[in-house]
Amino acid sequence: MPDRTRPLHVACIMDGNGRWAGRRGLPRTDGHTEGEENLARLVRVAVRRDIGHLTVFGFSTENWRRPRPEVRHILGLHEKLFGRVAELNELDVRIQWIGRPFDSPEAKTPRYVQRAIGKAIADTASNTGMVLTVAFDYGGRSELVAATEKARRSSGGVTPEAISANLYLPDLPPVDVLVRTSGEHRVSNFLLWQAAGAAIYFTDAPWPDFDGDELDRALELVG
Ligand code: FPP
C-alpha cells in the first residue's frame, strides 16, 4: 500500500507529442510546443489536487539522437518552461532538475539551458508548495551507475540505503504513480529506482491531451 502519510508523488512520461501533431497535419515541433503548454496547465491542476511532487521526463539521455532541429526546438521549450518563474511563484511551486551532472564527462546540456535551470531553481527556491522536478539529460541507468559507484567508495559499501543516498536527488521521494501517455506500455529508463513500487497508469491520450480528468484517473490507482 502507498504511504499516505506523505504527499503524493506523480511522475509523467510525456509521450505522443509527435503523433498529436501528425494527426492534425502539423509539424512534430508544434506537438512539443503544445506539450509544454499542457505541462503548464497540468501544473495548475496538480497544485489544486494537493500533489506534493510532480516529476516529468522532459529530455532523456537518448533524446540527443533525434534530428538536430527537433532537439533545438525541445531545448528552447525547456528554456521557456524554466522561464515561467512568475507563474510558478504565483502557484508556490518550487522547481528542481534531475539529470546528468553538468560537469560529468558524458553530459551534453548546453550552457544556456544550464543557466535557465539554475535561474529557475534559485528564483523559486523559497516556495513551499508542490515541487516540480524536470528530468533533463536524464537516464535511470546512468543515475544508478553513478550512485552505485559512489556507494562502492563509501565506508558502508553498496547497500540500498547507500544507493538511495547517492542518487542525483536523494530527497526525491518514492514515486506513487507513474503515468505514461500515448498508448506505449514501457518505463523507458525513467526513475528506475524511485519508481520501483509505483502504480502505473497507461493511457492512450497523447501528452497534449493529458488533462485533469486523466490525472484523476491516474490518482484513483492510489485511492
Ligand atoms: C515525446 O513525444 C516527448 C518528448 C520527447 C519529451 C519532450 C516533452 C515536451 C517537449 C513537453 C514539454 C515538456 C518540457 C519539460 C519542456 P514524442 O516526440 O516521442 O511523440 P511521438 O512518440 O508521438 O513521436
| pLDDT tens-digit map of 23-71 | 999 999 999 999 999 999 999 999 999 999 999 999 999 999 999 999 9
In Å, how far are 50, 109, 178 from 105, measured between CA atoms? 38, 11, 30
> Of residues 17, 38, 63, 189, which has the active-site annotation?
63
Note if 166 is an active site residue.
no
* Torsion angle in degrees (nearest 10) through CA of 51, 53, 57, 58: 90
pLDDT at 3: 53
**Which among 114, 104, 111 has a CA at the least distance from the CA of 136?**
114
For the ranges 29-38, 101-110, 119-128, 190-199, which has the lowest average pLDDT? 101-110
Q: Which of 12, 13, 14 has most ligand 1 atoms within 8 Å of its beta carbon, as the pocket-test mutant?
A: 14
Across 7-160, where does the E strand assignment appear?
9-13, 53-60, 94-98, 131-138
Q: Is residue 35 within 8 Å of residue 14, measured between CB atoms?
A: yes
**Residue found under cell 516556495:** 127
Is the pLDDT at 5 greater than 90? The verdict is: no
Ligand 1 pocket, residue 147 CB under 6 Å: no
What is the chain's mean pLDDT, rounded? 96
Asked whether 113 lines ligand 1 (CB < 6 A), one says no
120 lines ligand 1 (CB under 6 A): no
Of the pLDDT bands very low, low, confident and very high (cuts 50, 70, 90), residue 4 is low
How many Å apart are CA 208 and CA 44, to the nearest integer?
15
Give the whole-number percent of the chain exceeding pLDDT 70: 98
Q: How far is the CA of 43 from the centre of ligand 1 (A)?
A: 16
**Burial of 8: CB neighbours in 10 Å, binned 0-12, 13-18, 19+:** buried
Residues in the chain: 223
Active site residue 211: no
CB of 60 closer than 8 Å to CB of 138: yes
Do 102 and 69 touch, CB atoms closer than 8 A? no
**pLDDT, tens digit, for every residue of 153-199?**
999 999 999 999 999 999 999 999 999 999 999 999 999 999 999 99
Question: Where are the strands (E) in the chain, listed by range?
Answer: 9-13, 53-60, 94-98, 131-138, 177-180, 199-202
Categorize the per-residue pLDDT at 6 as very low, low, confident or very high, splitting at 50, 70 and 90: confident
Looking from the CA of residue 134, the nearest atom of ligand 1 is: 15
Share of the chain above pLDDT 90, in %: 96
User: What local confidence, expressed as pLDDT, does residue 223 receive?
Assistant: 80
Cross-strand pairs, 138: 60
Report the relative pairing of strands 177-180 and 199-202 from DSSP bridges. parallel
- DSSP type of residue 134: E
Q: CA-CA distance, 155 to 169, in Å (whole number)?
A: 20
pTM above 0.85, yes or no: yes
Task: Check 15, 30, 137, 176 and give the catalytic one.
Answer: 15
Rounded CA separation 79/83 (Å):
6
